Structure formats: structure tokens, C-alpha cells
Amino acid sequence: MARKLKVFRTPAGFHDAYVAAPSRKAALAAWGADADLFARGVAEEVTDAALMEEPLARPGEVVRRSRGSAAEQLAALPPDRPKRARKAEEEVPRSRTARSKAATKPPAPRPSRAELEAAEAALEQEDARRRDEEKAFAERQAALDRERREAGRRHERERAKLEAARQLAAEAYAAAVEKWRR
């Protein structure tokens, strides 16, 4: 007997992701979640019949629905925080030792890419060497294949000559034996 399906919902960006599944665990698997979204309060079971209709029509499949128009979503954003004035930060008095430490410590230099570039160049050089080696192997293989084909043709020609000579010798022998028997 098939288990009764329930509909679960979790937010996914500007959308809600709905899924009809037999259990919370199956819903988490359908969403691809590796944490328990239900325990965190991020996911919930849906009981509204209007919201349950489409997911129940496509069980196990994640159905995405927008949570409103773009204007509604922008209106729901929190207001921008006021930026702090730089002067307020500068007015904080610093001790003499703090000022001297700040003045004597130069910013760290940017790390050098030289070692990385050298390693990349060596890698590219090795790849080029290997490509050249493979090309040489292919050329040698093609030459060997040609040589093998020519040797096969030469063998067939020589064998045909020898077979013709054997046939003549066999006929001569048979004639000689026939003559001898009479």
C-alpha cells in the first residue's frame, strides 16, 4: 500500500520550493538538503489546499513558486543602514604606541606568481613533449603498418610463384609415375 503524501515547503531565494513526499526525510532528499531544515525552522508542512494542489499532482518533484512580484520583494527588504562618518572613527584618540606600531608596519607585499607561472610553463612544456612523442609513435606505427602490408603482398606474390612451380612439379611427377607403371 502506498504511503500517504504530505506537502512540504522551504524558501529558495525569491521562491518557495514545494514537494509532495511521504516523509520529511524524503522531502529533504528531494530538495537536496544535507541538513535538517525542519529542525532549523526553515521548512514546514503545508496544509493549505490551494498550495497543495500542484505538488500533489507531481509527487517527488520540486515545484517552485514565486513569493510575490519583484516590487513586493524589494519592498520587503530591510532599509539601508546609514553609513558611519569617517570623522567619527578618526576622532578616537590612539595611544602613542598604537600610532607608532601602525606607522612602522608596512603592508604586506602581494604574493609572487613566479613559482606558479613556472610550474604552469613546465606542465605545458611536458604536455607539448608528450604530444610530439605521440605524433612520432603514430608516424612509426604508420610506417610499420605500410611495411607489414608490403611484406604481406610480397609473400603472396612469392607464394603464388612457388605454388605454381609446385603444381608443375606435381604434374611432372604424376606423369613420370604413370609412365613408370606402364
**Close Cβ partners of 22 (under 8 Å, ≥ 6 residues apart):** 3, 4, 5, 6
Task: Give pLDDT tens digits for 90-142.
Answer: 555 556 666 666 667 888 888 898 998 999 999 999 999 999 999 999 999 99
Beta-sheet strands, E only, within 13-157: 15-21, 44-46, 63-66
H/E stretch holding 168: helix 114-181
What cell does 5 get?
Answer: 503524501
Query: How many residues are listed for the chain in this entry?
Result: 182
> What mean pLDDT, rounded, does the chain reach?
85
Q: 27 to each of 45, 51, 57, 69, 144, how far by Cα in Å?
A: 10, 16, 15, 26, 62
Task: Give pLDDT tens digits for 67-94.
Answer: 777 776 676 666 776 666 555 555 555 5
